[in-house]
Amino acid sequence: MFMAYDLEKQVAIAAVTQAAQLCEAVRQGLVPAAIEKNDKSPVTIADYGAQAVICRALAAAFPADPVVGEEDTQDLRQPAMAPVLSQVTQQVQGVQPGATDSEVLSWIDHGNGDVARRYWTLDPIDGTKGFLRGDQYAIALALVEDSDLKVGVLGCPFLSFGQGTGLLLVAVRGEGTVIMPLAGGEPQPLQVASADHTAHWRFVESVESGHGNQDQQSAIAQAVGITAPSMRMDSQAKYAAVAAGQAVLYLRLPSPKSPDYREKIWDHAAGVLVVQEAGGKVTDMHGKPLDFGTAARFPNNRGVVVSNGAIHETVLAALKQGQPV
């Protein structure tokens, strides 16, 4: 049977898996002193390295496809950053033996493409603070065609839903979402939580309070009958929690500190498809679909509402009744 986007899916799975291995190799080499000093260099090395590895794979398999990624090499090309570049290249060589500094720079810059009719979008490390804490982070890759998400892959090295630590979530439009160990194993289909079992409903939000309006998010959750305290997670692992039925709601409402903030496409693309194909629903706070066809930031969307689908309209109604945002 012909499976649409099968090659894209396989390339994305392999690339995200390699990037996750690179990130974990860097993270496991962290010394506590680096974290205490708030030293960002380990996450910088992993960020650049993951983008290089994934963009190398995409450029080889789909040379015509632009990649809209988070990182560029402007800082990395500065003479003072030579030691960091050397460490990035060393990590990439673990995946691609013989890689040179110049190749690594060109692979990273392959991720500086623009939104097009067909393009990939990449967040090489979503949740940098989680990475440094030894907590949740994600490698997030998605394919967009004609403004529609077609393939989404989330590599979550610290995620565990009773299946061992380190999970890969994969979604293809029209084919559902599956979950499997990052270390390899049989994919299992994922389904969002049903409308029953309301006593076990949870909602999930960012660890960082600046990433949303946590007071409003708690009020909305209570308004739709969620009484348990929130699960707080870094990264698109929050989308994974909804897709796997661990939570029924993820709210990211504009922070009062930055009311004009526009979300970036790579912070959401892979997670959105993973939830949708598991039976859930994703819109902005006004019920509009997220616009993946225009720019690197959503120009016409405010906030993000992710649910199991069954409670979505109730959440939107509660938002409408609440304070204007």
pLDDT, tens only, 126-144: 998 888 888 899 999 999 9
- Residue 154 pairs in a beta bridge with 140, 169
Q: Which residues of 269-306 are buried (b: 16+ CB within 10 A; e: fewer)?
A: bbbbbbbbbbbbbbbbbeeeebbbeeebebeebbbbbb
Residue 185's nearest CA partner among 207, 201, 205, 170 is 170
Are residues 207 and 155 part of one domain?
no
Residue 160 lies in a domain: yes
The per-residue pLDDT for 278 is 98
Taking only the tens place, the pLDDT of each residue in 165-184 is 899 999 999 999 999 999 98
The per-residue pLDDT for 174 is 97
Are residues 104 and 245 part of one domain?
no
Residue 259 lies in a domain: yes
The per-residue pLDDT for 41 is 67
More confident residue, 225 or 157: 157
Q: How many domains does the chain have?
A: 2
Are residues 246 and 177 part of one domain?
no
Residue where one domain finishes, among candidates 123, 157, 189: 189
Are residues 174 and 97 part of one domain?
yes
Residues acting as catalytic residues = 47, 128
Q: What is the mean pLDDT of residues 242-251?
A: 94
Are residues 80 and 35 part of one domain?
yes
Residue where one domain finishes, among candidates 189, 222, 255: 189
Residue 1 lies in a domain: no
Taking only the tens place, the pLDDT of each residue in 267-301 is 999 999 999 999 999 999 999 999 999 999 999 99
Are residues 151 and 282 part of one domain?
no
State the sign of the Cα–Cα–Cα–Cα dihedral 268, 269, 272, 278. Answer: negative
CATH code at position 203: 3.40.190.80
Residue where one domain finishes, among candidates 142, 168, 189: 189
Are residues 166 and 239 part of one domain?
no
Residue 205 belongs to what domain range? 198-321
